[in-house]
Amino acid sequence: MSSTDAFFNSGGSGYPPFKFEHIGDAIAGTITRVSDPIEGTDLNGNPQTSIAIEIHTDDGADWTLWVQKPRMIVAIADAVRAAGGAGTPQVGGRLGVRHHAEKPSTKPGFNAQKLYEAQYQPPASAASSDFFARTDAAPAPPAAEALI
């Protein structure tokens, strides 16, 4: 049985979805589970692939981050690459995602598009108590300091 089958057979994530309702909403914490890609459809019936990332935050809460929007996928992928990785964030790593701005829709009647920024630390360096601690002498990029 694949982990996607196990995910659905268990009723999906047992944690509430984290919603980015307002500019500035953010989540950061340790990744406890990453699902396989889940194939489905959006509200218009178009194919859509999602990944559920379960995150345990420093305040003890557990959330599911549903990664399905292209701009969030790009932000997380860029953060993983910036941390020296490739592909999917790993269990035990730390992930922070923030809804930092909106882009007006070019279609009348449509909502603005949410823009995201992300920061990732792979599991080997995630043990630091400071999410943004750096192990090298290079200064942190400005976005990292303002992320969360």
Confidence of residue 142 (pLDDT cuts 50, 70, 90): very low
Tokens found for residue 53: 């990332």
One-letter amino acid for residue 148 of the chain = I
Write out pLDDT tens, residues 15-46.
Answer: 999 999 999 999 999 999 999 988 888 888 88
Residues 6+ apart with CB under 8 A from 6: none
Q: What is the pTM of this model?
A: 0.74
**For residue range 72-101, what is the model confidence (pLDDT) as tens digits?**
999 999 999 999 888 889 999 999 999 999
Give the closest residue to 32 by CA, choosing from 63, 4, 3, 6.
63
Q: Residue 22's Cα: distance from chain center in Å?
A: 16
2.30.29, 2.40.10, 2.40.50, 1.20.1630: CATH of 3-124+141-146: 2.40.50
DSSP strand pairing (26-34 vs 94-103): antiparallel
